[in-house]
Amino acid sequence: MPDRPPAPAGAAAPWPGTVVIRGGTVVDETGTRQADVLVRDGRVVAVEKRITIPGGATVLDAGGCLVAPGLVDLHAHLRQPGAEEAETVESASRAAVLGGFTAVVAMPNTDPPVDNAAVALEVLALGAASLCRVAVAGAITVGRAGERLAPMGELAALGVRLFTDDGAGVQDGGLMRRALDYARGLGVTLAQHCEDRAIAAGGLMHEGEWSARLGLPGVPAAAEEAMVARDIALVAATGAPMHFLHLSCAGSLSLVAAAKAAGMPVTAEVAPHHLALTDAELAAYDPLFKVNPPLRSAADVAAVRRACATGTVDAVATDHAPHAANTKEAPLDEAPPGMLGLQTAWPVALAALHRGDPGLGADGEAVPALSVADVIGLLSWRPARIAGLDRAGGGDQGGPVAAGEPANLCVLDPAHTWTVEAGALASRSGNSPWRGRTLTGSVRHTVVAGEPVVIGGEAQR
Amino acid sequence: MVAAGPGASGGASPEPGAGVTARGAGRSGTGARGARAREASGAAARVGAAERSGAAARVGAAEQSGAAARVGAAERSGAAARVGAAERSGAAARVGAAERSGGSSQADAASGQDSDDGGSQSVPAPPGGPGGRRRHLLSIDDLGAEGIATVLRLSDRFVEVARRPIPKVPALRGRTVASVFAESSTRTRLSFETAARRLSADVISFSPAGSSLAKGESLRDTVQTVAAMGVDCFVVRHGCAGVPAQVAGWTGASVVNAGDGWHEHPTQALLDCATIRQVLAERDGMAVDDVGVDGFVGLRVAIVGDVAHSRVARSGILALAALGARVTLVAPGSLLPPSLVGWPVEAVTADLDDVLPETDVCYVLRLQTERGAGAFVPSPREYTAGFGLTARRAALLPDHAMVLHPGPMVRGVEIAADVADLPRTVVLRQVANGVAVRMAVLFLLLGAEEATADA
Ligand SMILES: [Zn+2]
């Protein structure tokens, strides 16, 4: 097995055209400046104050917008193979680029799951034909059953950098310890969906005031916190890096903050819905708001936002989880958990983390505001690094926006207000919690490998 | 033992439910639920309890200490008053508001074709009718104190109807009531269907065995298929909380919650209140009509047992508190809900002996008897030792106190066999009141304009 994984597969071929992104504010990890961006043959050619438009160039107006490295989603359920009625790699990639994402990490809980090279190659091939870059996460255990290790070496050889049984946590601590030891040798990162199944006890929403009142079985925060605590102890024992998926509770974030302070190699992501929605959304018993981990209390929402401001959280990842409409028109104990996220992540993160809009989950809680650049960092270069999709990891995501760099870019409008209507969603499913609501912040253009796949908010293919 | 919701921190936001209200109403038309959410959230903020770390841990600790702490009277009366206030405050009040707006001409329809005694047997005017807003009974909060009082008054009239040689009135002739029971409960289903038939409604009975539900058709499709047959009211029982609210969002019919998961069972609470009211009236030697609901004010009610998994307890607490009763919960920590923030209860304790001498109504809940890891108590025997209403414990009750149980009773576990047979144990009266109370609810929800024309 190689010491270091090869460059990830699945990158699209460069688009042989010329694009000028004009009149925007360029934002990347190196800073913010007014500049036009010239793109040719899949690469950024120039980033300068006023670029003369070459003949035949496609001009993208970026007035009032931020021109940033494309967003990178660490956590998307593309549903293919196995649940194509809910989503396909192609439909998800369209939702992704409309949401400003130029790369997504496909979660392995497909049917069959990504626990072997054949399925990984299938998803990578579908990704190569899609609108954005699709990386694949592999399963930690065979069949995600939590019983024996999946062939992580075989998958790592294909460029798989993240492994997770997402949808469930690895319940057996002994098995998880062996997985971490094995992953360390491969140079890959394990990602955990932290949920102690026995403590969760089949709960359907966050356990607390609302679950008690609504008569719904609850998932206590302790179900997440207990596994975070266990895994931090295992990271200490093995020295292997660990990424925590979709953390939702104040207690989990305190544990991660302490682990980081102790210098441990842990990273954490949070989902947009945990930044902006509380368990009170379940008051009308709408399964649209059933998600795992569940929507938590307002205090937890505030803690999640604070953890984004303090550096405890490394990434905002969508946990985009499409479900066919009929499956959500069921009793709460039958409806599957999950909600769409790709097309709304940017405005929701902006509203929750930068503007602190009222009515979004943590009203009355004091939460520091992040700069727009920091919000974009949580959605772009920081997750790119965790996924190994950044330049240092041999990838082409996360910027910077500079001459010679791969042209994976998004043009974000921070002020445009729009209503989330079913027709505006590219996903095959409609289970967006923001359906019918108005959001401020939109995606004007997206450029993938030099190709303008979204122009003026419209997907080009 | 612990008070419900002592202020551990001021973490709750002032009105977290407010935003939900409008959206909830838009999605499924359950405006009253939103109002309830707002009311409860407000209560939570006032109580100021830390949400997650709070009630469960506190209850556990207090349960061990066994001390008795009571929430201040102000907090208690505030909680009770808020339920009524929210109910009266507007669109949320379905039955209550509608009941006040009705005309009087339908009275004869309800009191029956035997109009000889119609004058003295007149009932409140029904609310609904063509063009009227749909009404549901999803939660006791949909009624409020006034709505509950209306149902109780009306159910007394229907008790009278039941005594007639032909116990039937034409009030809902031409209306169709569909009972959808996705969880078996022959007793409750028969009670509702009997109520509907005595009001001359047509009844469609639907249960999952051998039905399309079993064949994988979605609940929504099933409900809409049944609705297409022309249903005015769905009576819904389901093992998962919230299904009646979902059905209300999927159809144009009225919906009565006949028990949903651990959430609510409003008609059970109403028949319990009707029973308590009758016993109070007899005790005072008064006609039930004359006592109204004043007898509930200050009534000391102990609800004993598995509150966490009991829809009967949730509806009962809301109904009794709305009428002014003082509710104490008696349960082991593992059978209490994870949070009591916003619940209109006066106290929570694990010491039944301590509570019984100060109890006017002892409401004994059924114990689920799972074994092993699924069990919430070590054994039925240990439960009985701590929380069973044994003969010794029943003797601690004041002479006038009554004992209720939602049935079916597990004699020897939550209630001793000889206590179950005491005159003060009014379980059979509860059952007898079921049909009349459900007649009252259906009548109030469905209105009777067309029926009047026929009467
Ligand atoms: Zn997950």
In one-letter notation, the amino acid at residue A37 is: V
Confidence of residue A326 (pLDDT cuts 50, 70, 90): confident
- B-chain CB neighbours of A217 within 8 Å are 262
Inform me whether the pLDDT recorded for B122 exceeds 90.
no
Res B214: pLDDT? 55
Which phi and psi (to 5°) does residue A20 adopt?
Answer: -120, 125
- B-chain CB neighbours of A221 within 8 Å are 52
Confidence of residue B134 (pLDDT cuts 50, 70, 90): low
Confidence of residue A368 (pLDDT cuts 50, 70, 90): confident
In angstroms, how far is CA B21 from the centroid of its own chain?
Answer: 22
- A437 vs chain B: nearest CA distance in angstroms? 9
Confidence of residue B213 (pLDDT cuts 50, 70, 90): low
Closest to A245 in 3D by CA, of A105, A380, A347, A433: A105
In the numeric block, which tokens belong to residue B418? 């000889």
Angle at B123 between CA B122 and CA B124, to 5 degrees: 130
> Is residue B217 in a domain?
no
Q: How far apart are CA B208 and CA A215, in angstroms?
A: 22
In angstroms, how far is CA B82 from the centroid of its own chain?
Answer: 17
> Is residue B411 in a domain?
yes
Per CATH, domain A70-397 is 3.40.190.10: no
Which phi and psi (to 5°) does residue B411 adopt?
Answer: -65, 135
Where is B257: in which H helix or E strand?
A: strand B254-260
Neighbours of B395 (CB within 10 A): 9
Query: Which residue's entry shows tokens 């984004």?
Result: A308
Q: How far apart are CA A184 and CA B24, in angstroms?
A: 48
> Is residue B38 in a domain?
yes
Residues contacting residue A171 through CB under 8 Å, at least 6 positions apart: A146, A196, A197, A198
Inform me whether the pLDDT recorded for A324 exceeds 70.
yes
Inform me whether the pLDDT recorded for B93 exceeds 70.
no
Last residue of a domain, one of B132, B165, B197: B132
Smallest Cβ–Cβ distance between B40 and the set A213, A362, A436 belongs to: A213
Q: Determine the residue among A85, A197, A205, A213 to mutate to test chain B binding: the one whose Cβ has the most chain B Cβ atoms within 10 Å.
A: A213
Residue A73 is among the residues annotated as catalytic for this protein: no
What is the layout of strands, in order, in the sheet containing A71-76? Answer: A71-76, A101-106, A133-136
Domain ranges, residue B84: 1-132
Neighbours of A237 (CB within 10 A): 11
Q: How many domains is chain B partitioned into structurally?
A: 2
pLDDT digits (tens, 9 = 90+) for A220-242: 999 999 999 999 999 999 999 99
Any idea where the domains of chain A sit in the sequence? Answer: 70-397
Confidence of residue B121 (pLDDT cuts 50, 70, 90): very low
DSSP B119: T
Say yes or no for a CB contact (<8 Å) between B24 and A283. Answer: yes
Query: Which residue's entry shows tokens 């109890």?
Result: B359
> Is residue B438 in a domain?
no
Q: How far apart are CA B379 and CA B381, in angstroms?
A: 5
- B-chain CB neighbours of A430 within 8 Å are none
Residues contacting residue A66 through CB under 8 Å, at least 6 positions apart: A24, A25, A26, A27, A372, A376, A411, A412, A413, A414
pLDDT digits (tens, 9 = 90+) for B12-53: 333 333 333 333 333 333 333 333 443 434 333 333 333 333
Res A122: pLDDT? 97
Q: For B373, name the nearest residue in chain A, comparing CA atoms only.
A: A198
- B-chain CB neighbours of A362 within 8 Å are 13
CATH of the domain at B395: 3.40.50.1370
Say yes or no for a CB contact (<8 Å) between A209 and B241. Answer: no
> Is residue B211 in a domain?
no
Q: Residues in chain A whose beta carbon is closer than 8 A to a beta carbon of chain B?
A: 206-209, 211-218, 220-221, 249, 278, 280-281, 283-286, 296-300, 326, 329-334, 359, 362-365, 436-437
> Is residue B246 in a domain?
no
What is each CA distance from B108 to B155, B218, B288, B452, in whole angstroms? 15, 42, 21, 8
Which phi and psi (to 5°) does residue A123 adopt?
Answer: -65, -40
More confident of the two residues B58 and B137: B137
Res B373: pLDDT? 60
> Is residue B383 in a domain?
yes
Residue environment code for B113-132, b if the CB has 16+ CB neighbours within 10 A, otherwise e: eeeeebeebebbbbbbbeee
> Is residue B449 in a domain?
no
Confidence of residue B309 (pLDDT cuts 50, 70, 90): very high
Beta strand pairing call for A409-419 and A218-219? unpaired
Say yes or no for a CB contact (<8 Å) between B52 and A207. Answer: yes
- A-chain CB neighbours of B250 within 8 Å are 329
Q: How far is the CA of A301 from the centre of ligand 1 (A)?
A: 17
Average model confidence (pLDDT) across chain B: 75
Inform me whether the pLDDT recorded for B447 exceeds 80.
no
Neighbours of A55 (CB within 10 A): 5
More confident of the two residues A36 and A363: A36
Say yes or no for a CB contact (<8 Å) between A286 and B219. Answer: no
Neighbours of B428 (CB within 10 A): 10
Inform me whether the pLDDT recorded for A263 exceeds 50.
yes
pLDDT digits (tens, 9 = 90+) for A180-193: 999 999 999 999 99
In one-letter notation, the amino acid at residue B302 is: A
| Lowest mean pLDDT segment, chosen from A146-155, A236-245, A418-427, B344-353 | A418-427
Q: Which of A319, A390, A396, A413 is catalytic?
A: A319
Res B163: pLDDT? 87
Say yes or no for a CB contact (<8 Å) between A329 and B27. Answer: no
- B-chain CB neighbours of A212 within 8 Å are 55, 337-341, 343
| Lowest mean pLDDT segment, chosen from A125-139, B101-115, B236-250 | B101-115
- A80 vs chain B: nearest CA distance in angstroms? 23
Res B215: pLDDT? 59
Determine the average pLDDT of the residues in B236-251.
96
Closest to A39 in 3D by CA, of A89, A102, A82, A91: A102
Say yes or no for a CB contact (<8 Å) between A218 and B338. Answer: yes
Last residue of a domain, one of B108, B132, B156: B132
Res B184: pLDDT? 79
- B118 vs chain A: nearest CA distance in angstroms? 42
Inform me whether the pLDDT recorded for B218 exceeds 60.
yes
- A207 vs chain B: nearest CA distance in angstroms? 7
Determine the average pLDDT of the residues in B80-85.
32
- A226 vs chain B: nearest CA distance in angstroms? 15
Say yes or no for a CB contact (<8 Å) between B262 and A363. Answer: no
Residue environment code for A315-326, b if the CB has 16+ CB neighbours within 10 A, otherwise e: bbbbbbbbbbee
Res A353: pLDDT? 97
Instruction: Using a cut of 0.90, tell me whether the model's pTM lies above it.
Output: no
Residue environment code for A417-439, b if the CB has 16+ CB neighbours within 10 A, otherwise e: eeebeeeebbbbbbbbbbbeeeb
Q: How far is the CA of A429 from the centre of ligand 1 (A)?
A: 18
pLDDT digits (tens, 9 = 90+) for A30-74: 999 999 999 999 999 999 999 999 999 999 999 999 999 999 999
Inform me whether the pLDDT recorded for A29 exceeds 70.
yes
Q: How far apart are CA A161 and CA B336, in angstroms?
A: 45
Say yes or no for a CB contact (<8 Å) between A299 and B11. Answer: yes
Inform me whether the pLDDT recorded for B57 exceeds 50.
no
pLDDT digits (tens, 9 = 90+) for B383-432: 999 999 999 999 999 999 999 999 889 899 999 999 999 999 999 999 99
